[in-house]
Amino acid sequence: MSLKTILFTCIIFCILSLKPQESDKTCIVYLSRTNNTKAVAEMIQQEVGGDLIPVELQNPYPADYKAIVKQVSEENESGFLPPFKIKLELAKYNTIFLGFPTWGMQLPPPVKSFLNDYNLTGKTVIPFNTHSGYGLGSSLRTIGKLCPNSTILEVFSIKGGIERDGVYLYIKEDRVVEVKSEVKNWLQKIGMLR
Which residues lie near ligand FMN (CB under 6 A)?
32-38, 68-69, 72, 101-105, 130-134, 160-163
Q: Cβ of residue 64: shortest distance to ligand FMN, in angstroms?
A: 10
Q: Is 140 helix (H, G, I), strand (E, B) or coil?
A: helix
Q: CB of 125 within 8 A of CB of 154?
A: no
Query: Which residue's Cβ lies closest to ligand FMN?
Result: 160
- Spell out a b/e string for 123-141, using b for 16 or more CB atoms within 10 Å of the CB, else e: bbbbbbbbbbeeebbebbe
Q: Cβ of residue 135: shortest distance to ligand FMN, in angstroms?
A: 6
Q: Cβ of residue 168: shortest distance to ligand FMN, in angstroms?
A: 7
Q: Is 26 helix (H, G, I), strand (E, B) or coil?
A: strand
Q: Is 161 helix (H, G, I), strand (E, B) or coil?
A: coil
Q: Which is nearer to ligand FMN, 36 or 150 (CB)?
A: 36
Q: CB of 189 within 8 A of CB of 154?
A: yes
Q: Cβ of residue 45: shortest distance to ligand FMN, in angstroms?
A: 15
Distance CA 29, CA 38 (A): 10
Distance CA 103, CA 69 (A): 8
> Going by C-beta distance under 8 Å and a sequence separation of 6 or more, which residues neighbour residue 72?
61, 103, 104, 108, 109
Q: Cβ of residue 69: shortest distance to ligand FMN, in angstroms?
A: 5
Q: CB of 120 within 8 A of CB of 92?
A: no
